[in-house]
Structure 1
Amino acid sequence: MKKIDKAKFGPWALITGASAGIGEEFARQLAAGGFDLVLVARRKELLEHLGQELKQKHHINYQVIEADLSTTAGVEKVIEGTDGLNVGLLISNAGTGKPGKFLKFGLDHLMATIQLNALSHIALTHHFGRKMAAAGKGGILLTGAMGAIDGLPYMANESGTKAMVQALAKALNTELKATGIHITVLVTSPTETPVLPLLGFTKDNLPMKPLSVQQCVSEALEGLRKNRPSVLPGLKYRMMNTVVPASFSRAMMAKVFKKNNNID
């Protein structure tokens, strides 16, 4: 598998949600490829620790931006904080999820989730996309979620936001080809990250073994390099996503979320 080209997609890569899980692994793999990094998340201490580690190991430059992308102010902070940098790669990975009944969540919670999971991706894609189009090169990778496009009961708001992001990336993959920009959506399969237990999942109650974060990220970057509209990592998960009817998948996920999260 070829490494993603710093000359085409660099020299700086911006990664949101970089403090843990998939975002952290994007930082590790891109640093190994020589990319300078802008690390964005709410937990500044974790970002600094990661940045220092990767700087010492790979002799890269890094910048940390502490920002809450569930607010428009957080998005503006990222845009302003990168004003003087040549960002050729955007990994828009920030997101959250909390299983529960849609009607029991407060509207403020739902709106903040939409801002983080969807609107922040649109704003960053628009801002950096314009800069990349002017340069005639660059890459944008957005993160979605397996099953979102068909709807996930008890995560209705979250699946709606991820479905929007997936549709956005697929549309722009065609629309932006003439500009020289690659754009891909990572349709995230169940992956070994800190998010899994927050959704009520363990290695024992998943129907198939979750992917390693290394495999998830390496397949995503390969898809971006080849300018594929979407990437769903893991052959077994791709097969399952193809053959299992959406109605069956929704019914199954409803039972799983209810049971694993004690939803009455």
Structure 2
Amino acid sequence: MKQQLQSTERNTMKASLDKGRFGPWALVTGASSGIGKEFTRQIAASGINVVLVARRDALLAELGRAVSQEFGVQYRVLAMDLSQEGFIAGLADATHDLDIGLVVSNAGTANPGEFLKLDRQLLQATLRLNTTSHLDIAHYFGRKLTERRRGGLILVGAMGAENGIPRITNDAAAKAYVHSLGEALHYEFKPLGVYVSVLAAGFTNTPVLEKFRFDPKTMPMKPMSVEQCVSEGLSGLIKNRSRVVPGRLNRIMNALVPASLARKMEADMIDKGLASKSAGARA
């Protein structure tokens, strides 16, 4: 079974982006690590130049050099904080000379914990990053893409967000907004030649997941690799699917597990992870 799963993952990674539709440039936010970093690699593997956006300049520059050397593409690094109001003006100014055909709006974070114990200013800053940044990017680049009459937009969400997830209450609610925004834009942009997909990622092996301190032994399934998550996301975009849930088991659970049960399972996992984190801090 293990060999079969590995073979399936390799096959999904063969999807190649059409540079005529999605090139010559792509822009990826949250590109310094995790899903955004892998999007950058797989997009560059199709020969599309990449604009890397995140806060950590050094990590972006390192990634840019790596994909340029490996795939022969050009890159541009833009270090900025997308949780700050008005960031879109700087992003627009820094990319106005580029013909961008693919935008991956991936920047986001999570702050697990009991809602009333979290700082309200932190919640508001997180909400801006997890919602308003996607809105601003979709609005500005949506106009650019529809003027081209071709291109693609991927909004990165989270599986099960619409159900509400305790202990990441604010974060899950924000992802529900992203899902609604993306699926509506899929309908609006389709006749204008622009593909829009929401990537409803499940538990994926990224630095954000480390905040939860999950024990893999107690999780209902092993976290997905970023390689598989991103490859299925790009394959879904190529097929112009409005929503992509990566992973066969994730799709089965998403379709069959009642929302109330899924909510309880997720809350129990997060509680165990937070308890482990608290115990480690006291040790």
- TM-score grouping bracket, smaller chain normalisation: over 0.9
Q: For residue 151 of structure 2, what is the aligned residue in structure 1?
A: 138
* SS of match in other structure, 2:157: strand
* SS of match in other structure, 2:203: coil
> Alpha carbons of 1:202 and 1:85: their partners in 2 closer, same or farther (altered >3 Å)?
farther
Residue pairs, 1:139-158, within 5 angstroms: 139-158=152-171
Q: Deviations over 1:132-176 (max 9, x none)?
A: 111111100000011111100011100010000001111111111
Separation in 2 of the partners of 1:67 and 1:25? 19
Q: For residue 110 of structure 2, what is the aligned residue in structure 1?
A: 97
CA contact (8 A) 2:214 2:272 kept: no
Q: For residue 281 of structure 2, what is the aligned residue in structure 1?
A: none
**Deviation for aligned residue 1:107:** 2.0
CA contact (8 A) 2:108 2:129 kept: yes
* SS of match in other structure, 1:38: strand
CA contact (8 A) 1:68 1:75 kept: no
What CA RMSD, in Å, does the superposition of the two structures yield over aligned residues? Answer: 1.4
CA contact (8 A) 2:206 2:226 kept: yes
**Deviation for aligned residue 1:77:** 2.2
Aligned with residue 170 of structure 1, among 176, 183, 186: 183
Q: Deviations over 1:189-223 (max 9, x none)?
A: 11122222212224323210111111110100010
CA contact (8 A) 1:121 1:142 kept: yes
Separation in 2 of the partners of 1:118 and 1:5? 29
CA contact (8 A) 1:95 1:117 kept: yes
Residue pairs, 1:170-249, within 5 angstroms: 170-249=183-262
Q: Which runs of 4+ in 1 moved over 4 A?
A: none
> Alpha carbons of 1:202 and 1:81: their partners in 2 closer, same or farther (altered >3 Å)?
farther
Q: For residue 22 of structure 1, what is the aligned residue in structure 2?
A: 35
* SS of match in other structure, 2:224: coil
Give the TM-score normalised by structure 2. 0.90
Separation in 2 of the partners of 1:202 and 1:41? 29
> Alpha carbons of 1:76 and 1:203: their partners in 2 closer, same or farther (altered >3 Å)?
farther
Q: For residue 47 of structure 1, what is the aligned residue in structure 2?
A: 60
Matched, 1:87 2:100: yes
Aligned with residue 159 of structure 1, among 156, 169, 172: 172
Separation in 2 of the partners of 1:190 and 1:251? 16
CA contact (8 A) 2:15 2:231 kept: no
CA contact (8 A) 1:94 1:117 kept: yes
Give the TM-score normalised by structure 1. 0.97
**Deviation for aligned residue 1:106:** 2.2
Structure 1 gap segments, 5+ residues each: none
Separation in 2 of the partners of 1:214 and 1:259? 27
Structure 2 gap segments, 5+ residues each: 1-13, 279-283
Q: For residue 6 of structure 2, what is the aligned residue in structure 1?
A: none
